[in-house]
Structure 1
Amino acid sequence: MKIEYSNIPISMGKMRTYGFSWMDFVTAIPSPLFVVTSYKSNGMPNACLQSWACFKGNPSGFYAILSSVNKSGHMYQTLKEKGEAVLNFPSADIYDKCTATIANNGFDNDEITLSGLTAEAATSVDAPRIKECFLNLECRYLWEREIKDGDTHVLICLEVINICADEVHLDENIQGRYGEKGYLYNVHYPINPENFEGKSHDWIASLNKLKDMGEY
């Protein structure tokens, strides 16, 4: 039996949503995890653990759509000032260090080094890469917009102009990009609104290939 929800369920009426929609928690649709890195105006590396994004390519290029960027954060400020950033994709073994960037977010901090990670120069943009991440996407800012007028967060489009990838992860016969050592996903507060009791939390997930769809 399917259950329909057009309004917030009664059990979620007093739930803290931290700026998200109640529908985020009912659907719990996973989104890839990555760290956005850039340089602050004082030259110090900025690092922001991010999710809520999608990636799309066409003959004109490859693009990252970041769907929830806080206007008051360092990440938004540096993207507007510099117009360049790197999206760094961690595997599970360094996830805790990536999470540490949340605490080490002072304006005068080197947020990468303080979190136990290694900053290295990008090839095509003026932004740091995280050496330990198996995939780095070097990007340029293209545009932004509010999903609704007056929103505190914006949707931002970045154009990927260079890819730096670990060769072991590129080879599906050795390690690949999936499984416990590949891409990480944020599973956002999966709850059952029929019996929610006020306690829930995020999960980190990995992706396993299920079925070979054949050659194109």
Structure 2
Amino acid sequence: MKKEISIFERPESLNGYDTKQYLEACGNLSWFDLVTAMPSLVFVVTGWKSNGKENACLHSWSSFAGSGADNFICIMGKVDKGGHMYQSLKETQVCVLNFPSKDIYDRCIKTIGNNEFETDEITASGLTAEKASKVNAPRIKECFLNMECEFLWEHELFEGSKEVVVGLKAVNICMDRERYDQSAFGRYGKNGYLYQIDQPTNPETGEIAPINYGTVEPGAHLEWITK
């Protein structure tokens, strides 16, 4: 049986914490983030800060779309206008999206804490910075896929929002050879792309399932029979 869930009506607490404070502490989330728990790809955005130090930002809430043979666009859906990543993008107009597998995810998480302006954030987190091929930005050597991008545009999520949607265009991709073949390492399964899962929550009790990330297991081929 389906039930209607309002964005304005929610439990007073989430796992024992005040709901409003919990959502703000988790990155200015909406109540519907936890109700839907929709997964999205995890990657680390890298660039140069104005002082020449490495910038690295663990990111999700994004989508990717090809439009014609020559255009592959990343739509980053939640970029804080007060953060180093936004400042770097505006100053340099480029960045690299680095896609980790689970074996280095613990180090990628450390980029959240190693975010001081004077810190080389990639190196401080135990990862290796290397030069990108087509843009002036560092990329992460340990990530199995690196997508070098140019800044296209930005738009507020809503009028007065402190966060923006950013459009990027991919101009180069670097991928580990072992990922080419899905029967080897591939891009899916337990060693492939990581997805952020926003803490699936019971909308009536406020009980939160302790899930952090997930992977995708490819299913059997299904013919597209549309009629």
Q: TM-score range by the shorter chain?
A: over 0.9
Name the residue aligned to 2:6: 6
Q: How far apart, in 1, do the equivalents of 2:10 and 2:67 lie?
A: 43
Name the residue aligned to 2:105: 95
Relative distance call for 1:201 and 1:75 in structure 2 (3 A) is farther
Relative distance call for 1:22 and 1:174 in structure 2 (3 A) is same
- Residue 31, structure 1, aligned to residue 37, structure 2: no
- Of residues 123, 128, 133 in structure 2, which corresponds to 1:123? 133
Name the residue aligned to 2:95: 85
- Of residues 201, 204, 209 in structure 2, which corresponds to 1:191? 201
Q: How far apart, in 1, do the equivalents of 2:170 and 2:89 lie?
A: 14
Runs of 5+ consecutive residues of structure 1 not aligned to the other structure:
none
Name the residue aligned to 2:121: 111
Name the residue aligned to 1:48: 57
State the Cα distance separating 1:211 from its structure 2 match. 2.3
Equivalent pair of 2:7/2:32 in contact (CA under 8 Å): no
Task: Determine helix, strand or coil for the equivalent of 1:23.
Answer: helix
1:101-148 deviations in whole A, cap 9, x for unaligned? 111111111101111100000000000010000000000000000021
- In the comparison of the two structures, how many residue pairs are matched? 215
1:36-71 deviations in whole A, cap 9, x for unaligned? 000001111100000000000011400000000000
Query: Which runs of structure 2 are paired with 1:58-207 in the superposition (5 Å)?
Result: 58-59=67-68, 60-197=70-207, 201-207=210-216
State the Cα distance separating 1:189 from its structure 2 match. 1.6
Q: How far apart, in 2, do the equivalents of 1:90 and 1:205 lie?
A: 12
Segment of structure 1 superposing worse, 134-143 or 161-170: 161-170
Q: How far apart, in 2, do the equivalents of 1:37 and 1:202 lie?
A: 26
Q: How far apart, in 2, do the equivalents of 1:144 and 1:111 lie?
A: 24
1:58-112 deviations in whole A, cap 9, x for unaligned? 1140000000000000000000000000000000000000001111111111101
Equivalent pair of 1:135/1:163 in contact (CA under 8 Å): yes
Segment of structure 1 superposing worse, 177-186 or 10-19: 10-19
Task: Determine helix, strand or coil for the equivalent of 1:11.
Answer: coil
Relative distance call for 1:50 and 1:10 in structure 2 (3 A) is closer
Equivalent pair of 2:10/2:31 in contact (CA under 8 Å): no
Q: How far apart, in 1, do the equivalents of 2:162 and 2:182 lie?
A: 41
Equivalent pair of 1:9/1:193 in contact (CA under 8 Å): no
Moved over 2 A (4+): 6-10, 199-202
Q: How far apart, in 1, do the equivalents of 2:85 and 2:210 lie?
A: 24
State the Cα distance separating 1:25 from its structure 2 match. 0.6
Runs of 5+ consecutive residues of structure 2 not aligned to the other structure:
none
The root-mean-square deviation of aligned C-alpha atoms, in Å, is 1.7
State the Cα distance separating 1:20 from its structure 2 match. 1.5
What percentage of residue pairs aligned between the two structures are identical?
A: 49
State the Cα distance separating 1:194 from its structure 2 match. 1.7
